[in-house]
Amino acid sequence: MRRTARRGAVGAGAAAVLLVPELVGLERTFPWPIALAARPALAAGVDVAAGTLAAVSRRARPAALGAAAVSRLVLARPRRHRERPGPGRLTVLVANVWQGRADPGALARLLAAHRPDVVVLPEAGEPFLARLAGHLDPGLGYRADTAPPPRPHRHVPDDPDGPWTAVLVAPSLGDVKVAPVLLGGLYGWLEVGGGTLGDVRVLAAHPVAPVPGLTGRWADELDLVAAWRAAAAGPTVVAGDLNTTVEHRGLAALGEGGAPAGPATWPARWPRWLGFRIDHVLGGGGLAVRSTRVLDLPGSDHRAVLARLG
C-alpha cells in the first residue's frame, strides 16, 4: 500500500512540475513559459497518456493515476474571462503588422469599419505608416506616432518596422499626448493620455517573446508593465502584443480582460480555434473591458483584437 501511494505521489508530482510550474517557482524559466502557453492542450495530452499507461501496465498504474488526477484538476480550473457587458466609452484596436508585412489596405478597411479611438500597431515603424497613409480615408483624421527601440541590442533586429510600435489616435480624443515610454523594454513602447481621455492612460506595449535567451527579459518586461500600471493614478489600458496568455500568472498584474475563450491571435496561418491568444487589451483602475472581437488581418501572422471599454 505504501509503495502504491509513493508511486502515485511521484506521478502526481511529476505532472505538477510539468503543468503547474508556479508551484516550484519555474514559471519564468525556459521552457516553462512556452509550455504554460499550451497548458490546456498539454494537460489533455498528459491525461490521455496517463490513462493509456494505466490500462496497459499494472506496475505503472499508480503513477499514471496520480498524473491523471493532476491533469484533470488543471483542465477543470476556471480560466480568467472578465468581460463585463455594458456601455463602452473607449474602443481600442491592437494589430501586430508583422514587421510591416500586413496589408495596409486591409487594415485601413478595418479602421473605416470599426473606427477605433486608439489603434496600437506593434512592429509598425515609419515605412509601414507611410504605406498605410496611402489607403486611409482622410476623413478619419487619425494622428500617427511611432516609437523606435530605445537602444541597440543584439536580440533586436535592425529593421525599420519590426522593433517599433505605432499608435493611431482618433480626432475625437482631442489634444492627447503620445510619447515614447522608456521603461526598459527592448522594443519601442508608447503612452497615450490627455485630451478627452481625461485621467485614462493607455500603454502600447510589446514585451519580447519568452524564447531561448530572452525568457528572463520577457519576465522582466512584464514586471515593467505591471509597475507602470501600479504607478498610474487612475484608469489604465494596456494594449499590444503582450506575448503572454491567461495561463501565465504575470498577465493578471497587467489588467483585466484577458480572455481564453474565442479565436487565437497567433499564428494566423493556423485555424482560428488553434493557437495562442497573446494579443490583448486590458483594463484597470475601474475601466473594464466590455467586449472583444478577434479580426483577421491579411498579410500578418497575428489576428487583430478590437475591444470596447467602459
Please calculate the CA angle 40-46-49 and round it to the nearest 5 degrees. Answer: 140
Element (H, E) at 194: strand 190-194
CB atoms within 10 A of CB 230: 10
For 221-250, write each residue's pLDDT tens digit: 999 999 999 999 899 999 999 999 999 999
Do the beta carbons of residue 162 and residue 208 sit within 8 Å? no
**8 A C-beta contact, residue 136 and residue 109:** no
Asked if 257 and 83 count as a contact pair (C-beta separation under 8 A), the reply is: yes
pLDDT at residue 215 in the model = 96
pLDDT the model gives residue 3 = 81
Angle at alpha carbon of residue 94, lines to 130 and 132, rounded to 5°: 15
Q: Are strands 201-204 and 236-241 parallel, antiparallel or unpaired?
A: parallel
Q: Kindly provide the residue ranges of all beta strands, DSSP E only, lying in 44-139, ordered along the sequence.
A: 90-94, 118-122
What is the Cα–Cα distance from 264 to 282, expressed in whole angstroms? 16
Instruction: Reduce the secondary structure of 279-305 to three states and give it as a string.
Output: EEEEEECCCCEEEEEEECCCCCCCCEE
Three-class SS of residue 131?
helix
Local confidence pLDDT in tens for the 310 residues of the chain: 678 888 889 999 999 999 999 999 999 999 999 999 999 999 999 999 999 999 999 999 999 999 999 999 999 987 755 566 666 799 999 999 999 999 999 999 999 999 999 999 999 999 999 999 999 999 999 999 999 999 989 889 889 999 999 999 999 999 999 999 988 899 999 999 999 999 999 999 999 999 999 999 999 999 999 999 999 989 999 999 999 999 999 999 999 987 766 799 999 999 999 999 999 999 999 999 999 999 999 999 999 999 999 9
Residue type, 37: A
Q: What is the pLDDT of residue 261?
A: 66
Percent above pLDDT 70 for the chain = 96
92 vs 307: CA distance, rounded Å: 5
Do 68 and 277 form a contact (C-beta atoms < 8 A)? no
Grid cell 506616432 — which residue? 145
Burial (0-12, 13-18, 19+ Cβ within 10 Å), 62 = buried
- Spatial CB neighbours of 290, under 8 Å, sequence gap ≥ 6: 83, 84, 85, 86, 87, 88, 307, 308, 309, 310
pLDDT tens digits, one per residue of 68-80: 999 999 999 877 5
- Geometric angle at alpha carbon 202, from 252 and 112, rounded to 5°: 110
d(CA 269, CA 111) in angstroms, rounded, equals 22
State pTM to two decimals.
0.93
